[in-house]
């Protein structure tokens, strides 16, 4: 077999294992609680321990189909469904439900999707995909959460995208997109809970620099930190108060092993894609695009060579 083909097959296998491990780490309730603390306004005044208790049941990992028909079928089959039956269909990375304290004392029921996204600019606008995911989480509730015209029972949904390789302009940012009230003529004030039902959150990691006491720092430690597993575990325990079980420590160690090759390759491919995209959209030269993205050193030279000799 051709050496390059062997390399590609090994990379694909490692990438699949890396993605699976990433979902496992993120599905830990303590990690999800940190994400909700910073991304869902309903939890901003809650402690991490309180948020953990608000999460209902166990998060579903790559088990619930996104597209029509598949969603209801996969939710019903969760109790005894093998993950292999989902091969070939689009599933939410992580999907779970939570109860949140409302301002009027009532409990707000939420459906939450968390996606781990390595490529910030695939062949489509990532935000449009996020809108589709939110729309599906709303429409799939009919026949599951409410029937006929019981629209008052619709649950609010969140789609939270954790982007590990964003462009420079987006690094270390959390951005919310949602439905809001805007008076065109006159002055009307409706109950916010009647329309604020879809929230998209883009959570973009940074340069690997220390982001003390924020969810960005936590996720960088968990997913992109170049420290070994023992150092990562110590940081998670001491700085973020993550209670580490022996099983979770093993998951973190496995992530470290997989990320050495896959993550570095993924970052390089993402940067190469960003350079090519800038060249196409702005007409910039490769050198100019590299300047705009602030890519320097050996990595800059490798990207230049890749663009000039794409078949090497």
Entry pTM: 0.76
Residue 45 DSSP class: T
Give CA–CA dist 95/108, Å, rounded: 17
Residue 209 is predicted with a pLDDT of: 56
Residue 77 is predicted with a pLDDT of: 47
Spatial neighbors of 191 by CB under 8 A, at least 6 apart, are none
- Model pLDDT for residues 60-80, shown as the tens digit of each residue: 998 888 986 665 555 544 433
Closest to 130 measured CA to CA, from 73, 172, 83, 92: 92
Could you tell me if 179 and 200 are in contact, meaning their C-beta atoms sit under 8 angstroms apart?
no
Count of beta carbons in the 10 Å neighbourhood of residue 288: 14
Count of beta carbons in the 10 Å neighbourhood of residue 225: 20
7, 8, 14, 16: CA torsion to nearest 10:
-170
| 306 band by pLDDT with thresholds 50, 70 and 90 | confident
Residue 115 DSSP class: E
Token couple for 61: 């990992």
Lowest mean pLDDT among 23-32, 34-43, 64-73, 277-286: 64-73
Give CA–CA dist 312/309, Å, rounded: 6
| 295 band by pLDDT with thresholds 50, 70 and 90 | confident
Q: Considering just the CA atoms, what is the radius of gyration of the chain in Å?
A: 21
Rounded average pLDDT over 9-35: 80
Give CA–CA dist 166/14, Å, rounded: 22
Spatial neighbors of 218 by CB under 8 A, at least 6 apart, are 31, 34, 236, 240, 242
| 3 state DSSP class of 142 | strand
Q: What are the residue ranges spanned by the domains of the chain?
A: 17-182+191-253
Residue 85 DSSP class: G
Report phi then psi at 162, rounded to 5: -95, 105
The strands making up 94-101's β-sheet, listed across from edge to edge, are 55-61, 94-101, 107-117, 156-163, 198-204, 173-178
Look up tokens 């439900």; give the residue: 97
**Alpha carbon of 54 to those of 42, 57, 238: distances in Å?**
11, 9, 24
DSSP string, 176-197: EEE-----SSS-----GGGT--
């Amino acid at each position: 077999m051709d050496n390059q083909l062997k390399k590609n097959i090994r990379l694909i296998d490692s990438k699949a294992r890396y993605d699976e491990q990433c979902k496992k780490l993120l599905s830990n309730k303590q990690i999800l609680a940190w994400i909700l603390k910073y991304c869902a306004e309903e939890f901003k005044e809650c402690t991490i321990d309180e948020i953990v208790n608000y999460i209902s049941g166990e998060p579903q990992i790559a088990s619930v189909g996104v597209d029509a028909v598949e969603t209801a079928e996969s939710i019903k089959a969760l109790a005894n469904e093998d993950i292999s039956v989902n091969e070939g269909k689009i599933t939410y990375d992580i999907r779970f439900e939570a109860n949140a304290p409302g301002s009027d004392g009532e409990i707000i029921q939420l459906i939450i999707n968390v996606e781990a996204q390595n490529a910030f600019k695939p062949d489509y606008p990532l935000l449009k995909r996020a809108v589709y995911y939110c729309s599906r989480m709303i429409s799939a509730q009919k026949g599951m959460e409410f029937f006929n015209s019981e629209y008052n029972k619709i649950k609010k949904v969140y789609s939270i995208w954790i982007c590990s390789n964003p462009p420079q302009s987006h690094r270390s940012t959390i951005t919310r997109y949602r439905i809001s009230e805007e008076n065109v003529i006159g002055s009307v004030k409706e109950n916010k809970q009647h329309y604020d039902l879809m929230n998209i959150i883009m959570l973009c990691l940074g340069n690997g620099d220390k982001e003390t006491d924020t969810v960005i720092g936590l996720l960088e430690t968990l997913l992109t930190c170049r420290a070994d597993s023992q150092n990562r575990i110590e940081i998670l325990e001491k700085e973020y108060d993550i209670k580490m079980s022996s099983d979770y420590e093993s998951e973190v160690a496995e992530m470290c092993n997989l990320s050495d090759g896959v993550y570095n390759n993924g970052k390089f491919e993402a940067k190469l894609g960003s350079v090519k995209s800038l060249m196409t959209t702005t007409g910039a030269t490769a050198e100019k695009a590299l300047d705009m993205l602030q890519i320097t050193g050996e990595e800059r030279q490798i990207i230049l060579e890749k663009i000039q000799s794409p078949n090497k």
